[in-house]
Copies of this chain bind each other. A is one copy, B any other.
Amino acid sequence: MKVVKFGGSSLSCSEQVEKVFNIVVSDPERKVVVVSAPGKRFAEDTKVTDLLIECAAAYLQGREDHHAFQAIIDRYESIAEGLKLPGGTVVEIKSNLLELLNGDRSDPQKYMDAVKATGEDSHARLIAAYFQHKGVEAHYVNPKEAGLLVTDEPGNAQPLPETYESLYRLREREGIVIFPGFFGFNREGEIVTFSRSGSDITGSILASGIKAAVYENFTDVDAVYSVNPSIINRPKEITEITYREMRELSYAGFSVFHDEALMPAFKAGIPVNVKNTNQPGKPGTMIVKERELANGPVIGIASDEGFSSIYVSKYLLNREIGFGRKLLSILEDFHLSFEHMPSGIDDISIILRQEPLNQTVEEQVVQRIKEELQADDVKVERNLALIMMVGEGMRESVGTAARASTALARAGVNIEMINQGSSEVSMMFGVRVSDERKAVQALYEEFFAGVAI
């Protein structure tokens, strides 16, 4: 039994929905289909979810946004027409949305969540209708009815433990289950949405709930790439990758998945197959618990910019018990979390995300470190990039650090920081943002050129 999830671009127009239909019916194991709201059809297009947000925001300010409202209805209508569905489907979508928009606005956050969720919900109803229209037994299932209970955190809902047991019963439903992604219900029966990549989360929870053999995640890329395709042209595709490798890669800007989205599936040990709706015959990438190591120690290289370092030096610092703890306490007072903390004999550097460290915060942090810790010197350096090399094979391979740093040296990249020591399956380099592309290219060349995948 499989759970199959389709992203917004895979469901953006009638042609795409037809592809989805064909994919689903081509494999009788595809039991549960999780759908997103209609996404972009072309680069400048607007996602239905964004139109819904616009619309709800207007209503919250006491005015109607006819333009956005009509654009939403037009999207569903054009899909329904393309699929040659009878007119009734979109009429119901329209009246439901209107009723909701004019409904209770006393809690703006709850209101916004409920309106946003109709993007997925309406599309699931429409797609279920299409499957039926094509003579396939399929039913729209509402998350409330299915028992998808979540915590009451709008935009960041977490599944409640009893959810999984309830969802297991979906196995017994007749026909194909068409399930809207992105949201669940709190104990009060109100809609609460997940975070970014919400439909991925729904699919992941359902896969865990029904104990699926595989969770197929259809999107618009053939596979997970070994490196960002905007840095390396046509990089190697990853055929098999472990959960842990995927998670380490996600950390540093690997954008295929929001790294928490797949956790429910990972925890249940269910393999995730990333596939392309437009190339369903291709094998895609399998994300698994364990894999055979082949093709060298490194499976992927990710990079992310926007880091700063705070360098603190003080004579005899390394004899001062509590220095590191006090330093971190100061950061904590400003709600700053640190990424890395390399230390020398008389100095510590803190690597952290640059964004929350604005000019005002920076000045206060520097002042407090100087005063409270009596530091001799405090310096902030901005515009660092972190490059993460990931691979379970690194665990058993002597010389990966050597190959990597040699490649970086050859490319003339100055390494500002090396972090190796905690995770055995990754190695991190800090470089200047201006060296980021060059660094990734050099590492890719070293570890992937000549490797057949």
Contact = CB atoms under 8 A, between A and B. Distances in A.
Interface of A: 247-248, 251, 260, 263, 309, 311, 315-316, 318-322, 324-325, 328-329, 332, 335-349, 351, 398-399, 401-403, 405-410, 412-423, 426, 428, 430
Central interface residue in A251, A263, A345, by most chain B CB within 10 Å: A345
B337 A332 contact: no
A263 to B, nearest CB: 8
B401 A418 contact: yes
A347 to B, nearest CB: 5
Contact of A248 (B311, B345, B412, B430): B345
Contacts of A340: 342-343, 421
A406 B325 CA distance: 35
Contacts of A401: 401, 405, 408-409, 415, 418
Contact of A414 (B247, B260, B398): B398
A403 to B, nearest CB: 8
Given A321-B337, A328-B325, A328-B328, A247 B345 contact: yes
Nearest to A328: B325
A422 B311 contact: yes
Nearest to A341: B341
Contact of A399 (B322, B406, B422): B406
A444 B340 CA distance: 29
Contact of A349 (B345, B398, B422, B428): B422
Contact of A421 (B247, B349, B412, B414): B349
Given A321-B337, A413-B398, A421 B419 contact: yes
A-B pairs with the 3 shortest C-beta distances? A399-B409, A344-B423, A342-B421
Contacts of A416: 421
Given A318-B339, A343-B419, 8 more contacts: A260-B316, A320-B337, A328-B328, A399-B410, A401-B415, A402-B409, A417-B420, A417-B421
Contacts of A311: 422
A419 B339 contact: no
Contact of A422 (B319, B339, B344, B398): B344
Contacts of A316: 260
Contact of A332 (B325, B339, B348): B325
B319 A337 contact: yes
Contacts of A418: 401, 418-421
A367 to B, nearest CB: 19
6 contacts: A251-B318, A309-B421, A340-B343, A344-B419, A402-B409, A418-B419
Contacts of A322: 328, 332
A162 to B, nearest CB: 21
Central interface residue in A248, A332, A410, A420, by most chain B CB within 10 Å: A420
